[in-house]
């Protein structure tokens, strides 16, 4: 005959774990017992008893005779568990972790006032234990027909016996959804059970007869017998090699073998050995090799391919052809955050992942698609860096220090200092924006990727700068953008190179700060005054492109006309008036007012707007004489009042003073007298 094995069979994780705990207690050489059968396999129970671990069904008996007790893998009720703990017994809890999860679910729902529906065999120890964690108030059903017997329930939760038939569970669940809405569902059928049942179906379809090995009281083994019978006409249920029906099996060419979750490997091997001794066409070695082939050999960091068994919001369960199932937790999945897992992964799909843990404590191998994707992503990112390529990334997060983006799913950081060659005050403007960058630092061990957009700008600016310098000439007019304003001048970006307009070259008039003339961001036309490529300096002029205010000054300011100006500054002898930027005129103190003033500041203020009349213009020496008072109305002098008549006195008229100039007379031959006029008349003054 030809032997074929199911892809999955034998001990599940929960059973294996309970056996390991029991073996450890047996070696401790301390009296210990199990509360009821540890698992549903008589051969295993007998083996444990031979090691000194008794099976006791009564709690009272255990409390009276033992100090240590092992809780069976199917679990017990909350009340029973509390009784052991409160008595001070040393409790070794071998309850299957999957069953423990069900306990937590029903306990939480019960405390919240939710009714609990348990799908399973009401007489099974596991179901009895589950019901004990919701106050024994659960509604237990095993068939669709029992749904009609349920009362009206408000938002019930549903759990299932871990070894229940998946097909029957789904059938019952469909009807429950019709009856109750909303319905909180916990899919608690053990993944190992589900996988074992599926493997049994596939095997049964390809063999002439099916041999199921396991305890007669084992629920999961009986499910295998039931399922196998649906696809294979001949099914034999045996517990040991002694029960092999050789006479019946001899009629069939291909025999399929599977085993229940409570069936130890040594029993399966004993069955194979016995079949071999009866003239099987395959040798024992060949059958063992075939068994090994059915199991995929895995190890940590191995890349495996499996089939998705189930999907929940906690993660994805995968069959990887190993003796235990593989779980991909949600945090180890590569998926779209805004889409439910159930919409991204489908049962039956193949999935590739990397092994990160051989045992998560619940019997599952832990896989990760995220880390597998990361491994490929790091390789891709390294290739990008080695090739000095740029990447386009979308900014997903902005913080005080910089920007966060993702490359191939890997988190990358761009410090604010690497964003641009110029200072960027508001980083939030880049949120959700696409930006080109280069990888300037890569460290997979520290999970660090540093990006820079600045280096790309620098390359672009260098190309522009080289082209710019080649064409630069003195007296060249060039348009740039105001980049920075300092007290001493304005920096202008000219296309890869910065030029400086000194404050003295900004205005023909006097200014206190460059901000009075230009603003950051302004487009400005300048003229190249001087440059030095070696020092990377360019001197620019701005006022040089503006007409000099004294040009054509006589036409702009006509003598005798009145204009408005602003008082700019005072002197002891007058005030200077700014007529326009770069053109000041002087109002002498005597031209400020008609009345006499001692100080200019007594009547005028700096910044005051006044009307002035142009008295004179000296274009050559840049001088304009102005007058304020001549723009004002000249005040009239008051008339002297007339005196009253009583006060009038006659004016004394003075007689003209007779002035006789007499000189000493001299005789000219007679005794007549000579006047001064006569004397001058006779004198020759030229002599």
Catalytic site includes residue 126: yes
H or E segment to which residue 290 belongs: helix 284-294
Contact (CB, 8 A) for 366 and 332: yes
Residue 482 pairs with which residues in a beta bridge?
A: 492
Residue 27 CA to residue 198 CA, distance in Å, equals 37
Which of 579, 568, 574, 608 is closest to 593 using CA atoms?
A: 574
User: Which secondary-structure segment (H or E) carries 493?
Assistant: strand 489-493
CA angle 16, 19, 23 (to 5 degrees): 140
User: How far is residue 314's CA from residue 578's CA, in Å, rounded to a whole number?
Assistant: 80
**Cα separation of 552 and 354, whole Å?**
86
HSE-up (13 A, CA, CB side) for residue 22:
30
- Tokens encoding 337: 């955050």
- C-alpha torsion sign, points 673, 678, 682, 686: positive
CB 436 within 8 A of CB 391: yes
The rounded Cα 450 to chain-centroid distance in angstroms is: 15
Cβ neighbors of 98 (< 8 A, separation 6 or more) are: 14, 162, 188, 190, 362
For residues 460, 464, 466, 470, the Cα torsion angle rounded to the nearest 10 degrees is 170
Separation CA 588–CA 591 (nearest Å) = 5
Type and span of the H or E element at 220: helix 219-231
Alpha carbons 307 and 325: distance in angstroms, whole number? 10
- Measured CA distances, 347 to 185, 228, 317, 352 (Å): 18, 22, 9, 14
- Catalytic option among 20, 61, 80, 126: 126
CA distance 389 to 375: 20
Please check whether residue 236 is in contact with residue 245, taking contact to mean a CB–CB distance below 8 angstroms: yes
What three-state secondary structure class fits 382? helix
Closest residue by Cα to residue 532 from 503, 500, 571, 564:
500
User: In terms of C-beta density within 10 A (0-12 exposed, 13-18 middle, 19 or more buried), how is residue 129 classed?
Assistant: buried
The strand pair at 157-160 and 184-185 is best described as parallel
Rg (CA), the chain: 56
Q: Is the dihedral of CA 603, 604, 610, 614 positive or negative?
A: positive
| Active site members | 126
């Amino acid at each position: 005959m030809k032997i074929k094995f199911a892809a999955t069979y034998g001990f599940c994780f929960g059973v294996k774990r309970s056996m390991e705990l029991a073996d450890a207690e047996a070696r401790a050489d301390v009296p210990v017992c199990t509360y009821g059968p540890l698992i549903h396999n008589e051969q295993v129970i007998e083996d444990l008893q031979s090691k000194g671990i008794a099976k006791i069904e009564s709690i009272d008996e255990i409390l009276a005779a033992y100090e240590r007790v092992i809780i069976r893998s199917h679990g017990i009720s909350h009340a029973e568990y509390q009784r052991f703990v409160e008595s001070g017994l040393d409790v070794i809890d071998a309850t299957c972790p999957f069953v423990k999860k069900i306990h937590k679910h029903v306990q939480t729902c019960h405390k919240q006032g939710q009714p609990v529906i348990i799908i399973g065999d009401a007489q099974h120890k596991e179901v009895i234990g589950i019901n004990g964690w919701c106050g024994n108030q659960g509604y237990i059903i095993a068939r669709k027909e029992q749904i009609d017997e349920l009362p009206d329930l408000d938002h019930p939760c549903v759990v299932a016996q871990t070894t229940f038939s998946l097909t029957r569970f789904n059938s019952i669940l469909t009807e429950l959804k019709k009856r109750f809405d909303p319905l909180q569902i916990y899919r608690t059928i053990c993944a190992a059970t589900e996988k074992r049942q599926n493997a049994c179906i596939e095997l049964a379809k390809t063999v002439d007869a099916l041999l199921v090995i396991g305890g007669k009281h084992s629920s999961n083994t009986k499910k295998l017998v039931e399922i196998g019978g649906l696809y294979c006409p001949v099914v034999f249920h045996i517990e040991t090699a002694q029960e092999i029906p050789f006479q019946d099996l001899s009629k069939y060419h291909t025999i399929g073998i599977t085993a229940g979750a409570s069936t130890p490997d040594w029993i399966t091997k004993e069955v194979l050995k016995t079949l071999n001794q009866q003239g099987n066409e395959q040798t024992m070695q060949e059958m063992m090799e075939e068994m090994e082939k059915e199991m995929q050999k895995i190890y940590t960091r191995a890349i495996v391919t499996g089939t998705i068994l189930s999907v929940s919001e906690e993660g994805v369960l995968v069959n990887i052809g190993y003796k235990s199932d593989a779980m991909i937790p949600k945090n180890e999945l590569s998926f779209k955050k805004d889409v439910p897992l159930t919409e991204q992964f489908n049962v039956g799909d193949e999935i590739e992942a990397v092994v990160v843990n051989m045992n998560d404590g619940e019997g599952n191998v832990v896989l990760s698609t995220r880390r597998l994707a990361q491994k490929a992503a790091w390789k891709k990112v390294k290739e990008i860096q080695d090739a000095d390529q740029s990447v386009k990334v979308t900014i997903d997060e902005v913080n005080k220090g910089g920007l966060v983006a993702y490359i191939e799913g890997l988190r990358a950081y761009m410090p604010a200092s690497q964003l641009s060659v110029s200072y960027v005050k508001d980083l939030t403007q880049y949120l959700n924006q696409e930006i080109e960058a280069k990888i300037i630092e890569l460290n997979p061990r520290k999970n660090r990727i540093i990006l820079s957009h600045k280096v790309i700008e620098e390359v672009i600016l260098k190309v522009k700068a080289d082209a710019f310098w080649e064409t630069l000439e003195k007296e060249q007019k060039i348009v740039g953008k105001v980049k920075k304003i300092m007290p001493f001048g304005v920096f202008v970006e000219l296309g890869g190179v910065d030029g400086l307009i000194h404050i003295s070259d900004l205005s023909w008039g006097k200014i206190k700060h460059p901000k009075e003339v230009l603003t950051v961001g302004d487009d400005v036309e300048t003229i190249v005054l001087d440059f030095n490529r070696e020092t990377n300096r360019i001197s620019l002029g701005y006022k040089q492109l503006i007409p000099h205010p004294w040009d054509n000054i006589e036409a702009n300011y006509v003598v005798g006309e009145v204009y408005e100006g602003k008082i700019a500054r005072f002197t002891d002898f007058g005030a200077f008036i700014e007529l326009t930027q770069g053109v000041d005129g002087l109002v002498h103190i005597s031209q400020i007012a008609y009345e006499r003033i001692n100080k200019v500041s007594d009547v005028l203020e700096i910044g005051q707007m006044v009307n002035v009349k142009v008295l004179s213009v000296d274009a050559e020496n840049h001088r304009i004489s102005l007058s304020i008072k001549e723009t004002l109305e000249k005040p009239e002098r008051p008339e002297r009042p007339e005196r009253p008549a009583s006060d009038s006195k006659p004016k004394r008229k003075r007689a003209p003073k007779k002035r006789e100039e007499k000189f000493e007379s001299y005789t000219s031959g007679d005794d007549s007298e000579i006047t001064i006029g006569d004397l001058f008349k006779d004198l020759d003054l030229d002599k």
